[in-house]
Amino acid sequence: MLTTEPAKAELPKSPNSLRLTLWVLLIVYIFNFLDRQIVNILAEPISRDLGLSDTQIGLMTGIAFAAFYTFLGIPIARFADRPKTNRVGLISVSLIIWSGMTALCGMAQNFVQLLLARIGVGVGEAGCTPAAHSLIADLAPPEKRASAISFYSLGIPIGSLLGMVIGGMIADAYGWRAAFLVAGLPGIALAAIVFFVLRDPRMSAHLKAAEPKPAISTAEAFKEILASRAFIMLAIGGAMAAFLSYGKATWTTIFFQRTHELSPGEVGFWFGIGGGIAGIIGTFAGGWFADKYGKVNRRHVLTAPAIGMLLAIPIAISAYWVENWWYALILIMTPTFLNSMYVGPAYSCAQGLVPLRARAMASAVLLFAQNLIGLGLGPLFFGMLSDGIKPMAGDESVRWVLYGAALLGLIPSFFFWRASLHLNKELDQKG
């Protein structure tokens, strides 16, 4: 079995501090999720304008992005794991592509054009997170890795918050097309800043002069990853958590518009800010708990995600049940907080369970499971289910779909607990 080489032994000291790298990558990830998630708040006005069904909304918000994002993620991650690959350059190019394609969404005249533009966003974003996780894992010591990846992962709730607020407000004032343009164009300028501010530690003169170790093959990387029972449980738990998270994110925004009769701007502002703040705190808390209690027993790295997913179920059901939208909004912040705690712990575990030269690949495999099953199928499945029960439930179909989504939180809770049982043994083996 391959062993994990210590990052310090292969990489020279980075010309950037870990703090600078984390802040710059956080801003990139904020744009990543802003461009990815803005379509959720715009789905209802797009649907009215282009005459889309709930199933088409699910396709547009989910599988159109996720299919290309996930399948391209693995070969791009293999490229990122090559010793001579400049990961900063890869992230910069990816940022240009997904930002440009987001702007093109605003120029779509029909469903097919919008679907193709969303595919382009997925193609661009596939190059970001595996390379970013690899950079962070090289720079952060193992005992601080969960917090570092959780800090980077704050881009998820912050970007989603900004996407909801900015998208909703601009859609109310100028229409959904303008919202896509405003979201996409600034990222092209940001790409140049990223390229000139950050440097990949691999690109230092010291490392270039040394004889690089050959990259392990794709087959070897897969063998190493799939040999880990903890990783397999993590992948299943993460995939189901993402399935519910992305599905609920799309259809909760639509729920507030259809059932509570709020405008896109109102939903974007109130649900975006409330859910965004809860997600930010939850993501940060997940990394903090993992580092603090993981020092005592490494299985506790995943304790907070397992318990959090379980506690969120009855509170989420209550949020969808109450008739007053203010009460619903307040209640839904707690499950959003609890369900956000898994991100940093899951990805930090993944980085510790594989060799140094397979770290980007490990992130890509985890992202593959999360995004193909989660982002790709979550919104689509809930949309198809909503269409299917409409003859019985009418306008309340989305509410009943969300009840079921809340109950399914039992599944990721179980698999995170199962993964935690293997962490001590497998992390000891990796040294």
Q: What are the tens digits of pLDDT across the range 33-55?
A: 898 888 878 888 888 888 888 78
- Rounded Cα distance, 365 and 197, in Å: 29
pLDDT digits (tens, 9 = 90+) for 116-165: 998 889 888 888 988 898 888 888 887 788 888 889 988 988 998 888 88
> Contacts from 201-204 at CB under 8 Å and sequence distance 24+?
201/11, 201/12, 201/13, 201/14, 201/15, 201/135, 201/138, 201/139, 202/11, 202/83, 202/84, 202/85, 202/86, 202/87, 203/86, 203/88, 204/12, 204/15
Mean pLDDT of the chain: 83
d(CA 405, CA 409): 7
Q: What is the longest distance spanned by two Cα atoms in the chain?
A: 69
Residue 262 to residues 176, 252, 320: CA-CA distances in angstroms? 16, 12, 15
CB-count exposure of residue 19 (10 Å: 0-12, 13-18, 19+): exposed
List the structure tokens of 48. Answer: 């009215």
Tokens 């990259």 belong to which residue? 215
Alpha helix positions (H), 322-358 = 325-339, 343-352
How many residues comprise the chain? 431
- Of 183 and 347, the one with more pLDDT: 183
Name which of 92-101, 265-274, 406-415 the model is least confident about: 265-274
pTM above 0.85, yes or no: no
